């Protein structure tokens, strides 16, 4: 199945060959990779190089390394959950710059809001209205309700992603909103005026979605993301 690797980039070559076999379907989910001895012979590498390659594949979410009598390297199913996990690590560790995150969200959230406006059911609209009511209630509590308001804000964005019906949007935005707090905490100038502005944007987005106005929802969501990204850039300076 595999070819002898070039020794100057041995472990990367192993990773690429196994990854390609998984993506092409030659190695299917649930299948166990050959034993270490067999893999070493096929690739022409040392045990240390092989184990380094397997660790990389595990970090990528392509295999699961199990120990014990029935252990071994098991091929995992490649799905949106793997993507979400890896993206979450990048955001949580702030390995993505504030500017890159801003550009990414600007290119994503307007489209999600537009799709939500096109696809929302009556039940979806009721869910969004309920979340808005919750957010408004937390805002009235003053400073003690800020954290709960931010969490509800995230739930509204995630509800919009779910309503869009696109599993990639759902996976990516779930990862973004479950890990973006480190950016908010470091770069957003928290105050009552800022949260009121945020709430106003949310109300306008939900209103456009509920009315089925896709382009209006897109424009409001895009303006919201751009404005709050600008606030974070200002505080960073």
Do 62 and 97 lie in one domain? The reply is: no
The domain boundary, picked from 60, 75, 90, lies at 75
- pLDDT in single tens digits along all 237 residues of the chain: 667 766 667 888 999 899 888 878 888 989 999 999 999 999 999 999 999 999 988 887 788 998 877 778 999 876 655 555 656 665 666 666 778 888 888 889 999 999 999 999 999 999 999 999 999 999 999 999 998 999 999 999 999 999 999 988 888 888 888 777 777 777 788 889 999 999 999 999 999 999 999 999 999 999 999 998 888 888 765
**Residue 29 included in any domain:** yes
Give dist(CA 150, CA 158) in Å, integer. Answer: 12
In a domain, residue 1? The reply is no
Say whether 32 sits in a helix, a strand or coil: strand
| Same domain, yes or no: 16 and 62 | yes
Q: How much of the chain exceeds pLDDT 90, in percent?
A: 49
Residue 121 shares a structural domain with residue 18: no
pLDDT digit string (tens) for 91-131?
A: 666 666 778 888 888 889 999 999 999 999 999 999 999 99
**Who's near 219: CB < 8 A, 6+ residues apart?**
110
Supply the range of the domain harboring residue 141.
Answer: 81-236
* Shared-domain flag, residues 162 and 144: yes
Does residue 111 sit in the same domain as residue 214? yes
**Are 198 and 127 part of one and the same domain?**
yes
- Overall pTM surpassing 0.75 (yes/no): no
Domain co-membership, 137 together with 224:
yes
Q: Are residues 187 and 93 in the same domain?
A: yes
- Same domain membership, residue 195 and residue 99: yes
Q: Quick one: 119 and 194 in the same domain?
A: yes
Q: In which region does residue 66 sit, left (phi positive, over 0), alpha (psi from -120 to 50) or beta (all else)?
A: beta
Is residue 114 domain-shared with residue 48, that is, in the same domain? Answer: no
Q: Domain count of the chain?
A: 2
Please give the Cα distance from 90 to 92 (Å, whole number). 6
- First-last CA distance in the chain: 54
Question: Do 58 and 143 fall within a single domain?
Answer: no
- Quick one: DSSP state of residue 68? S
Cα–Cα distance, 147 to 160 (Å, whole number): 20
- E strand intervals along the chain: 63-66, 72-75
């Amino acid at each position: 199945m595999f070819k002898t690797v070039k020794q100057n980039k041995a472990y990367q070559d192993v990773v690429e060959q196994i990854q390609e076999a998984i993506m092409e379907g030659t190695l299917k989910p649930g299948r166990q990779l050959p034993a270490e001895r067999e893999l070493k012979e096929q690739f022409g590498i040392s045990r240390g190089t092989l184990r380094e390659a397997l660790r990389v594949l595990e970090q990528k979410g392509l295999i699961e390394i199990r120990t014990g009598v029935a252990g071994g390297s098991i091929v995992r199913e490649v799905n949106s959950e793997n993507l979400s996990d890896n993206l979450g690590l990048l955001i949580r560790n702030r390995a993505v710059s504030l500017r890159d995150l801003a550009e990414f969200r600007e290119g994503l959230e307007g489209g999600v809001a537009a799709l939500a406006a096109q696809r929302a059911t009556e039940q979806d609209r009721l869910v969004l209205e309920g979340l808005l009511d919750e957010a408004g209630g937390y805002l009235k509590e003053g400073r003690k309700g800020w954290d709960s308001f931010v969490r509800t804000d995230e739930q509204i964005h995630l509800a919009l992603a779910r309503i869009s019906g696109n599993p990639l949007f759902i996976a990516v935005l779930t990862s973004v909103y479950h890990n973006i707090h480190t950016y908010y905490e470091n770069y957003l100038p928290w105050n009552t005026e800022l949260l009121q502005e945020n709430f106003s944007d949310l109300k306008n987005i939900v209103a456009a979605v509920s009315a089925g106005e896709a382009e209006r929802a897109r424009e409001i969501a895009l303006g919201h993301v751009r404005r709050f990204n600008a606030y974070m850039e200002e505080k960073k300076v």
